Amino acid sequence: MYAQVTRTATEANPGSMKLPREATIGPYSDSPAWNKGMKMPAGVPLLQELKDRLLEYQRHNTGSGTLKDPKVMWACPYGKVPDARGVDFVNPDDILRLNTEPGKMDTRGKAIATMAYELAKDLGFPFVLILGSSHAWKNEYDTQVHRSTGRLVPDHNHFTATFTDDPGWKRVGGHIYIEVDEWWIPTGLNNSRVITGIPRRAVDLHFTETTTQKTKRDLTNKAKLNNTLQRKY
């Protein structure tokens, strides 16, 4: 199932909000994609704001921080669908219902934690940080300047996570695209996601880089291209 928020309130069933199987959306990041078995990126240290959020929600953490028993660490409200104020495709009443139905936030949090735990074990990471619970929008990303535009755009339902070997560093991160029930509670990975006619992976992870690192990579790639063209012509 795909989920979407619309301006039309869905009084009886907030989970009936749909997103078409094809959507035109930008990338999570223009950093290189990371796949299972690839080397561990250098990553970047956690910002103080993120450290503070991890302390605030640490009561929800589970696991011991080993490859056999990864630690799931929360940096956002447990199981709460994030706020998305100020965008025309979100009806606040729909989000409110998803977060106030008795027991749904807790069930949603447990389902996300279980999925993140199993993914961390499979991918070989002892720690996974949950940065955003189940939601159906994303930050618009400008690949020219390597940063978010500050605007939110519709997306397939997912939660946001960082996988790492050190809880003080972000190594790889991205969106985990999920199938959800009517309350945006994960029921499995979304392996049938399509964007502009192209099948996309459910576990969409990327190297974590600073803007400076991305700009340096751009310059290196341009230099390599120029050298190739000079040799060719």
Q: How far is Cα 145 from Cα 78, in angstroms, rounded to an integer?
A: 32
| pLDDT value for 73 | 98
Compute the distance between CA of residue 35 and CA of residue 167 in angstroms, rounded to an integer: 20
- The pLDDT assigned to 24 comes to 36
Predicted local confidence at residue 89, as pLDDT: 81
Residues of the chain where predicted confidence (pLDDT) is lower than 50: 1-27
pLDDT digits (tens, 9 = 90+) for 49-82: 999 999 999 999 999 999 999 999 999 999 999 9
Comparing C-alpha atoms, which of 90, 104, 68, 85 is closest to residue 181? 104
Closest CA relative to residue 80, chosen from 46, 62, 57, 47: 57
Do residues 154 and 146 lie in contact, with contact meaning Cβ atoms separated by under 8 Å? no
Domain ranges of the chain: 14-232
Inter-residue contact 156 to 181 (CB < 8 Å): no
Within 10 A of 143 (CB to CB), how many other CB atoms are there?
A: 12
pLDDT in tens, 115-128: 999 999 999 999 99
pLDDT at 146: 56
Nearest residue to 156 via CA among 25, 8, 34? 25
Q: pTM above 0.85?
A: no
